[in-house]
Structure 1
């Protein structure tokens, strides 16, 4: 079912619509080196083959999973010989190019430069992280997207009707709603759709004239189909990011949706529990300190109860954190303190804050002017400083922590303002 012309290519209209530069370049037979970045089953290999077809070029394909420098050299030799004998260019297609290490990727560079071949790489991983800058600078990156449901349905109908390359000879009958179930189960992946259809065709029952794929068969075929999830890959980071941003944005529905997407695709629920614990500190903080305990309790419940009940505990924590008042004041304060330490260097500990366990230390004045707060009114040593004097500017200490007017931090802000008033009164006295 691999298309042989751009007109039969499904998806990627953002790149291959009639007026798009890439389509114009391909149809004119003047391709350039490029990287196709996208999930499985969206047509990266097919598009590379079409490039060779329209450019009237030799097509050489290697896989970074199975190949090394030896195969790269062999492809270079073949491309040079082909150009010399047939005066024809070569498209070198490298599947899973991100699997090559730096030295292997560098091996392509001189041959891209001198035109030995036109380089086309395919990757499911973010090229910014996985490919060398030198290679990226010589190839244009194109993002390929999941196929839409309408595009997958068109492909499904074509596969059912095509007698030469598809399943048309079988005269398969399948209800409209069952086709939709297959399309949804394919999850944007054309290869997966055709695989599911082929399995369903093998299970079809004959009614004498046609082969019938009924709802029971479709249910059986799609029952083990899962959503896309790649632990440690772009899809993982995109989905965990969407979950985090949903909780931060106070959307319990978004949090539950992305949590369910990840769990349904096979993500370890404790990954979500760990992220919730980070959210409780980073995005909720002292606006609701209970959020951290709720997240910890959910983690503990999962380990005690297992997945079935434990997932619900994590979902409960996700909803709680989503609806909790938000403050990143502690997160911001800690970053500011770390930046201050890096900038100001190793400032001396003020003498009144130093420990003085020996007579020598006491004779040096260590701890001499320290005021024990429990002996002071309201257990607060008004006016006493706890930072190096070098961090005071314009007679005021630096203030890393700035409570937000939300949740418990409203009260914390009020208390800080009260303590500052005590400091000011002590200073004036």
Structure 2
């Protein structure tokens, strides 16, 4: 009788589980997507087929199958399988699992596989505990993370693990999962459910490769109609759209996606592509990125990558930053878009940035340059030094022939891009400063 009650309790737990949990693949054959990892002959597939998994890290966006694959491994491996979430355990629990794994080895009980979900939540000192166990072969570690493991994990732990990147599922794979959930008794196979093809396609597109989100959309659509008393559930495009009202954006605001998208935004402006620029801008704003952060990065680009090729770019970026502060969401998107497109289309030059980089290197690494006497602040007893200085305004050319550095060292090398070409020609004609080429060669000693 107790076994019957236990089975009933287990069945109630299963029916209360979300559809995405109930429909997790039980075998590699049921696994959708990740063919680059799991197709016959691929490294990970060979390791799993031979049940000879070494320590690995699964990395990739949410809903791509990292935890699911770990569960498949748990069901089929001959090793003892331990699982934990790094958000719920600490060093003490990890050490207990490691100690049990060591005893198991010593007593002939075989290998232990330890699956640690969200491994990036472990601090570096906590990861060191795992490192020693992996190093000595006390257990096989499977770490799962949505972060870049090369940044989020201890480098020594990464070097002792094989990194496998999970990619977002393509739309065909998502549709396959949805169709399986409709037909499978673990899903809605015990109901009469029909879904239009365009509804399936919509879920596949809006999920953005996240199987969990697509299945959640199906579940909401089916259960909402069933709750209204419908014996036959039919889901059309409108019902599907209502059940998943906004596209899933992979963007956590602080992790890899945050830095990847802002990097794409900056590089698109630098590369002169206004369409890519405004797309990445919209991607950040839709995901809730702080518009002030975006404006600050635009101001940096205006000086670093445009500079004197279009001096107005800095004013545009500064005005956009100021107005973003004043206007706020959502209207500041118009200001940011206008400024970002201007910056993308502006002529480019990093000559000013290179000038300050080179000058800084000279200050740090080369011999310190003494201020030429005629540029020094005049002292009462050194009238001759003051007299040696020629005010450019008093020179007929407006550019007195005198040195301002004392050594021959060029930091600013203007390009032929935009307005900077005019600056370049002025310098070549000697109308800015005859003295920038005067003096002796700088020494690094």
- TM-score, structure 2 length as denominator? 0.87
1:405 aligns with 2:416: yes
Deviations 1:11-30 (A, max 9, x none): 21111121212211210111
| Unmatched runs of 5 consecutive residues or more in structure 1 | none
Partner of 1:386: 404
For 1:175 and 1:3, the matched residues in 2 are separated by: 24
Partner of 2:173: 151
For 1:184 and 1:302, the matched residues in 2 are separated by: 32
| Unmatched runs of 5 consecutive residues or more in structure 2 | 1-22, 439-445
Deviations 1:80-112 (A, max 9, x none): 344455623111011111111121111112222
2:83 counterpart SS class = strand
Equivalent pair of 1:173/1:211 in contact (CA under 8 Å): yes
1:301 counterpart SS class = helix
Deviations 1:317-344 (A, max 9, x none): 1111111111111111111111111111
For 1:204 and 1:185, the matched residues in 2 are separated by: 21
Equivalent pair of 2:178/2:214 in contact (CA under 8 Å): yes
Equivalent pair of 2:206/2:246 in contact (CA under 8 Å): no
Change (3 A) 1:312 1:239: same
Q: Describe how 1:182-221 pairs up with structure 2 within 5 A.
A: 182-204=203-225, 209-221=231-243
Q: Describe how 1:296-307 pairs up with structure 2 within 5 A.
A: 296-307=318-329
For 1:230 and 1:207, the matched residues in 2 are separated by: 39
Change (3 A) 1:226 1:144: closer
Q: Describe how 1:169-180 pairs up with structure 2 within 5 A.
A: 169-180=190-201
Q: Once the 2 structures are TM-superposed, how far is the Cα of residue 50 of structure 1 from its aligned partner?
A: 2.9
Equivalent pair of 1:204/1:214 in contact (CA under 8 Å): no
2:132 to 92, 98, 110: 110
Partner of 2:377: 355
1:370 aligns with 2:381: no
Equivalent pair of 1:196/1:221 in contact (CA under 8 Å): yes
Q: Bigger shift: 210-219 or 327-336?
A: 210-219
Equivalent pair of 1:226/1:265 in contact (CA under 8 Å): no
Equivalent pair of 1:36/1:141 in contact (CA under 8 Å): yes
Partner of 2:429: 418
Query: What RMSD, in angstroms, separates the aligned Cα atoms of the two structures?
Result: 2.3
For 1:229 and 1:418, the matched residues in 2 are separated by: 52
Partner of 2:10: none
For 2:329 and 2:189, the matched residues in 1 are separated by: 44
2:188 to 153, 162, 167: 167
For 1:308 and 1:133, the matched residues in 2 are separated by: 41
Deviations 1:364-423 (A, max 9, x none): x654522211111222112x1111x3xx3xxxx211111111110111111111117983
Q: Once the 2 structures are TM-superposed, how far is the Cα of residue 301 of structure 1 from its aligned partner?
A: 2.6
